[in-house]
Each structure stands twice: as structure tokens, then as C-alpha cells.
Amino acid sequence: MTTTKTLFGEVREQIGDRGKIEVLIGIPTFNNAKTVEPVLRAVKDGVNKVCPEASVLVVNADAGSQDGTQAAIKQAVGPDTPTAFVQHLAGDFFPGPISLQALSESGVPGREHAFRTFFTIAEELEVKACVVIDGNFRSLSSDWVEVLLRPVVEKAVDYVAPLFRRARYEGSLTNCIIYPLNRALYGKQMRYQSGGGYGFSGKLASLYLTKNVWEGEAARYGIDSWLTTVAVAEGCEVSQGFLGTKIHDTTLTGIELSILLAQAVGALFHLMEAYQEVWEGRTGSSPVPQFGPPYEPGPEGGAVNVERMVRGFQQGLRDLLPIWEIILAPETLAGILALGLLEAEEFRFPEALWVQTIFDFALAYHEKALHREHLLKSLTPLYLGQTASLVLGTREGSPEDVERAIETLCRKFESMKPFLTQRWRFP
């Protein structure tokens, strides 16, 4: 039998009895020798800015690096700061399958096990604050760490999520589905951007460990949005920290969109069932505190092939109609069929129709109307149509126009939420 006692015993052997540890720095890695050294130097500088007298422990949760990552960490940390190295692959300390490297934007297999490692050690040591920074960043500065750590140490904030400047249409899965739906569900205006840097209170680290999802799809396929959703749903003090531009090494290439979408949205729907009692009674949304410099929209980014997206939608209409007839309400399906008659430049996905589409998919998932993987993957052509519509409606405008369009969509999700709540219990 392994788990907590074995894990903490190994850490204690490495660091000895250091007394009270106040700040834990968690660094998940997988073959990040080229980047982890400057990352750790920036992290140490940031911690020194916020709490120079605090006792600090660095924990590296590694997925089996073969490029000298551990040696680079030792070089960067130096002899004065206690450091623990943990191999977090499945079977070492925690049961359950490990997620595929290719499906993790950070490039770290089993990312959920890395977070569980950090939280387990943080609880055992009763730390005050925990900062987790991916080891593959190239744009990290000490200011980032200050933004993530200072609110936890000085303002009793439980959770600081990252907020990045992204290219104009980057992150459309978040902007079109994850952010607006979660905002409508839980009532907080958290952007749900993919992670890379977080700040946690020791209290929240312990709370995460009580959740029986670590071997489930929500943690395995959506750990970053899961962290945010749990903090919001559990009523913790949540915030966002604007960190500027995100530049990092990644191995996320060649993955089918349908797989990524199915895993991300499936994790979201899974949590809807877990937190049904929470979101059913919440209406509207409220902003959360933001730390760091003011948020700025991103640059233009690369060209977007709208015509290909519309063709993908049309192909889905031809191939998936029998499945959509099972998932979608008749009025929703009628609206989708009408979109199939539009030329690419005329294509617009009405906001209310898109919201109704997502609600219908959530309800079909809840009711187990058909195999859930098939259900989730069949959303892909509809998502392509919504993304094309967003681009067509804003590409002649400014980056601020994109932000306004996303805000309008979020409000539509909120205003139409009563339809979802009514049918959730009484289909």
C-alpha cells in the first residue's frame, strides 16, 4: 500500500527535518532541462520579493525525464533551499491510469498526479501557500510569481488562476464553451485559460485532496479547469493574475480536435453532475479580483481558414445528422439545419442557438442518451461552425471587438440558464 505516507516519507528522507515550511514551490516537468533552470531562478526571485524570510521547499514532480532535468534543477536551486524530487508516474504513489503526454498542453504526462503530489506534501507540511509553475516556460519572470503568491500570503486569497494575453482567436474552445458555460453555471467571471502557473492557499490544497475525482476523467483530461471549478464551486476566495504573454515549449502536436474537445467538454459536463446542487441555484455572474497589470487583448495572430471550418460544419451535418437527432431538441436541430444552407461568408451561428446547442449536449450527456464519447466527439463540427461565426463577425474589427463578442455570448448563456436547470431535473 502506497499513497500519502509513502510519498511523504520519501520527501522527508530527502529534505530531513526542516521544521516549519511556509511556502511550497511545485515544478511539474518532463524533459525540460533547457528551460527549468531559468524558470526556477525566476521563481526564487519572485518568492524573495514577496516573503524573503519565509522557509521554502521546492518539489519537482517529474514524469520520467531523460535529459538531465533533475541536474538542472539542482543547479538552479542551489544548496541553501531544500528540494525534493518525486517521480509521479502512475503506480508510484497514486493508483489510476496516467494521461497521455500528447494530450497535455504542458507536455507533462500524468499532470493530475503532479498536482496531487504537491497538494499531499503541502497538507503534510501545513504550508501557508503553494505556487505551481510549469517547468517549460520561456516567458516567465519573477513578476509572475509575485502576482500568484502575494494575494495568497497577504490578502488571504485561496486561489490565483493565470490570465494570459492570447492571440486574437487563440483559445476558442475556452472562449466559446468552457468560459461562458462555467461562468453561467457557477456565477464567477473566471476565464478558465489553460494553466501554467497557479497560487494556492494551504487550505485549498487540503480541500482538493478530499475530492474523489483524482482517478476520474475530470482530473485526468481537464485538470486545469477542474482546479478552477472546484475552487469556485466550493466557495473559496478566488482571483486571477494577469501574467502577460505565454511562451512555452510544448509537445502538443498532431492531436485530433475531436479528441481534445471531447476530453475538455467531457470533464466540464462531469463536474456539472458533481456540483449540481451548487450551480442550480446560482444566477448571473460577478467579477473576481484581478492582480498584476491590467488585462490587455492579444495581437492579431495568424490567419484563420474560415472556409475550412464552415466545410467541416457542413460535412458534420451530412455525416452526423442521425446522432444530432438524438442529442438536440427539435427546435435546436431545425436551427442547425438552416445554417447548412448558408455560404461561408454569410455563415453566422446565432448566439441563442449556440447556447441551446451546448445545453442540449449537456442534457444528453446527463441523460446518457448515447455513448458519451460518441456524443462529445459529435460536437466538433458544431464547434467549428461557432468558431467560424465568431471570426466572421469580428475579423474586420479590433481585438476589443472579440472580447465584446465573448462577453455578449457569456451573457446569453446566463440569461438562458433557466432552460437548462428546468430540464436537468425533469427531462
Decide if pLDDT at 103 tops 50. Answer: no
Angstrom distance (rounded) from CA 111 to CA 104: 8
Angstrom distance (rounded) from CA 95 to CA 3: 8
Over residues 225-255, the pLDDT tens digits come to 889 999 999 999 999 999 988 887 765 544 6
Angstrom distance (rounded) from CA 43 to CA 399: 31
Task: Supply the pLDDT for residue 119.
Answer: 95
Angstrom distance (rounded) from CA 282 to CA 296: 29
Banded pLDDT at 99 (limits 50, 70, 90):
very low
* Residue showing cell 489510476: 96
Could you give all domains of the chain from N- to C-terminal order, each with its CATH number? Answer: 4-291 (3.90.550.10), 306-425 (no CATH)
Cell numbers for 213, please give them.
475525482
Which letter does DSSP use for residue 188 in this model? B
* Residue showing cell 466540464: 268
Q: What does pTM read for this prediction?
A: 0.90
> 62 near 88, Cβ under 8 Å?
yes
Task: Supply the pLDDT for residue 325.
Answer: 97
* Residue showing cell 457542413: 314
List for the chain the helix, strand, coil content (%; round to 5). Answer: 55, 10, 35
Angstrom distance (rounded) from CA 381 to CA 400: 27
Banded pLDDT at 217 (limits 50, 70, 90):
low
Over residues 343-386, the pLDDT tens digits come to 888 999 999 999 999 999 999 999 999 999 999 999 999 999 99
Chain length of the chain: 427
Sign for the pseudo-dihedral over CA of 265, 271, 276, 278: negative
Banded pLDDT at 322 (limits 50, 70, 90):
very high
Q: What's the mean pLDDT when you consider all of the chain?
A: 88
Angstrom distance (rounded) from CA 127 to CA 118: 11
Angstrom distance (rounded) from CA 145 to CA 133: 9
Over residues 26-57, the pLDDT tens digits come to 999 989 999 999 999 999 999 999 999 999 99
Angstrom distance (rounded) from CA 49 to CA 83: 20
Closest of 250, 252, 190, 260 to residue 226, by C-alpha: 190
Closest of 38, 237, 27, 33 to residue 121, by C-alpha: 27
Which letter does DSSP use for residue 368 in this model? T
Q: Are strands 159-165 and 290-291 parallel, antiparallel or unpaired?
A: unpaired
Angstrom distance (rounded) from CA 419 to CA 294: 35
